[in-house]
Chains A and B, each alone.
Chain A
Amino acid sequence: MSENQPAQNPAIVFREETSDWAILFNPQNGCTFGLDPVGVLMWRNIDGVKTLSDHVSAVRHACEGVSTNVAADVQSFLADLRDNGLVI
């Protein structure tokens, strides 16, 4: 496990609010973090093994009309998760 291979924080509750939107809930501090369908896809793929480029590929594979900035977007998303203690 490293910064390049993020893993889900096991304390976090992944709550599927609807069929494709979700929130991440940290019961230790009560904070919630909303996930859109792409965020849900990425969260499910975070396993402590996959790298940034794996996540970028997964998004490209699953989504249509992906932005040319997708790598930066994915990196930013993972940084947000890390900053909020959601991944380790």
Chain B
Amino acid sequence: MPSTLPSAMTTPRYVDLEITGRCNLRCSYCYHFSSPGDVGHELTTSEWLDFFEELGRNQVIHVMLGGGEPFCRKDLPILLQGIAANRMRFSIVTNGTLLDETTAAMVKATDRCDMVYVSLDSYRAEEHDVFRGSGSFADAARGLEILRAGSVPFSIRMTLHKQNYRALRNTADFALQRAGADYFSANEVSYFGLCRANVKDLILSPAERSEAMTELFLLYESYGDRVKAFAGLLSEAVNWVRMERNRQGHAEPEEGFGCLAGCTGIWDTLAIRADGAMTPCVQLNHIVLGWVNNDEVAQVWRNHQELSRLRAGRQTSLGTFATCRDCEYRRWCKGGCPGLAQSLLGRDNVPCSETCLRAHYMGGGTLPQPAALPSD
């Protein structure tokens, strides 16, 4: 049911930083390259440090460093010190191939690192390398070993596509048993960046997605909370299972469902492109809200009309869309990711067809019947 809008936080609690636009790899499904965030220019060391002071003044508590490959930046130690000096914690998303003992020790020494997320697409080198490049598995595996030896908290993220989804179980076992990762999670390739040119070879069909979802629930049964569902395919599976159970049980819809409320990030997270553009999200990075060190974060966060417009999606009933009007899941649905809707349909204020349960069924997909659901 469409609802009154909650108040946005006074400032963003989290900020996603595309700390660089450079990367040593060119993965076939990279969301960054060829996206609006793929800009030639990136902020200098001092520009980032000035910005971190502003984030500290605004009581931001966590920044996520991605890009691009963060370890391409030679000034990363200085940047991490700047983050810590401004009383924030950080996480890093990396391909793991540029890690060495010195950088791992540097990350550890900050004492402010929540997690290093390393991308690993298979337990087999040839399967990982096919879309990430020859030799990248060996380099990433070495990086994982360095993180473990250095007692740096790390998690492995697998990006699922047609060529590797059947390796899910073995890759999770590798991640959690052999590599010693704290957590394992799985995203699927999606219609962003370079993937858009390789959809046929990469994107999972509904049947393949069903198989992967079933395996993820089995992994959750095996490993419990070491298999994370905060995003990605398991998160989507949990949402869909809840929707199906609610429909069958005729559950009373909760506030915030049945409307365009699929994105929670616009309520607590701001994103920054490598060139300093403030955007609502790394997946809506064509929307420039302002510029680092030129526009005030708090003002942009509270007053920018584009953020207000996106937040106001909660007042748009899914029943206003022809695609949803007769959908029996509508009252328990949130309309999916606006970034993905933008990429697929050219509009961010419409339901996302790729995360639609009814479309999943109509495409031949099924839903697992898990014994227990992850909490998030």
Which residues of chain A have a CB within 8 Å of any CB of chain B?
11, 13-19, 25, 27-28, 30, 32
Given contacts A27-B88, A30-B89, A30-B114, contact A15 B7 (CB under 8 A): no
Q: Does B59 contact A (CB under 8 A)?
A: yes
Q: Does B170 contact A (CB under 8 A)?
A: no
Inter-chain pairs besides A15-B61, A27-B87, A27-B112, 6 sampled, C-beta below 8 Å: A13-B59, A15-B59, A17-B13, A25-B61, A27-B89, A30-B114
Most chain A beta carbons < 10 A, residue from B13, B87, B111, B114: B87
Q: With the chains together, A30 CA to B153 CA distance in Å?
A: 13
Contact present for B10 and A16 (CB under 8 Å): yes
Q: Does B327 contact A (CB under 8 A)?
A: no
Given contacts A17-B9, A19-B7, contact A28 B111 (CB under 8 A): yes
Contact present for A13 and B61 (CB under 8 Å): yes
Residues of B within 8 A of A18 (CB): 7, 9-10
Closest to B6 in A: A18
Size of chain B's interface in residues, with CB distance under 8 A?
14
Q: With the chains together, A17 CA to B268 CA distance in Å?
A: 9
How far does the Cβ of A16 sit from chain B's closest Cβ, in whole Å?
5
Q: Does B84 contact A (CB under 8 A)?
A: yes
Contact present for A27 and B61 (CB under 8 Å): yes
Contact present for B10 and A14 (CB under 8 Å): no
Residues of B within 8 A of A30 (CB): 89, 114
Residues of B within 8 A of A27 (CB): 61, 84, 87-89, 112
Residues of B within 8 A of A28 (CB): 111
Most chain B beta carbons < 10 A, residue from A11, A14, A19, A27: A27
Residues of A within 8 A of B114 (CB): 30
Q: With the chains together, A59 CA to B10 CA distance in Å?
A: 25
Within 8 A of A (CB), among B151-207: none
Residues of B within 8 A of A11 (CB): 87
Most chain B beta carbons < 10 A, residue from A11, A18, A25: A25
Most chain A beta carbons < 10 A, residue from B59, B84, B111: B59
How far does the Cβ of A48 sit from chain B's closest Cβ, in whole Å?
20
How far does the Cβ of B346 sit from chain A's closest Cβ, in whole Å?
34
Contact present for B59 and A16 (CB under 8 Å): yes
Closest to A17 in B: B9
**Listed A/B pairs (25) with beta-carbon separation below 8 Å:** A11-B87, A13-B61, A14-B59, A15-B11, A15-B13, A15-B59, A15-B61, A16-B10, A17-B9, A17-B10, A18-B9, A19-B7, A19-B10, A25-B59, A25-B61, A27-B61, A27-B84, A27-B87, A27-B88, A27-B89, A27-B112, A28-B111, A30-B89, A30-B114, A32-B61
Q: With the chains together, A27 CA to B89 CA distance in Å?
A: 6
How far does the Cβ of A76 sit from chain B's closest Cβ, in whole Å?
26
Closest to A32 in B: B61
5 nearest A-B residue pairs (beta carbon): A15-B59, A27-B87, A25-B61, A17-B9, A13-B87
Within 8 A of A (CB), among B58-95: 59, 61, 84, 87-89
How far does the Cβ of B292 sit from chain A's closest Cβ, in whole Å?
21
How far does the Cβ of B230 sit from chain A's closest Cβ, in whole Å?
15
Residues of A within 8 A of B112 (CB): 27
> CB-CB contacts of B1-29 with A at 8 A, as 1s and 0s?
00000010111010000000000000000
Q: With the chains together, A33 CA to B358 CA distance in Å?
A: 40
Most chain A beta carbons < 10 A, residue from B13, B61, B112: B61
Residues of A within 8 A of B59 (CB): 13-16, 25
Q: With the chains together, A25 CA to B88 CA distance in Å?
A: 9
Closest to A18 in B: B7
Q: With the chains together, A14 CA to B57 CA distance in Å?
A: 11
Residues of B within 8 A of A17 (CB): 9-10, 13
Closest to A12 in B: B87
Closest to B58 in A: A15
Q: With the chains together, A27 CA to B5 CA distance in Å?
A: 30
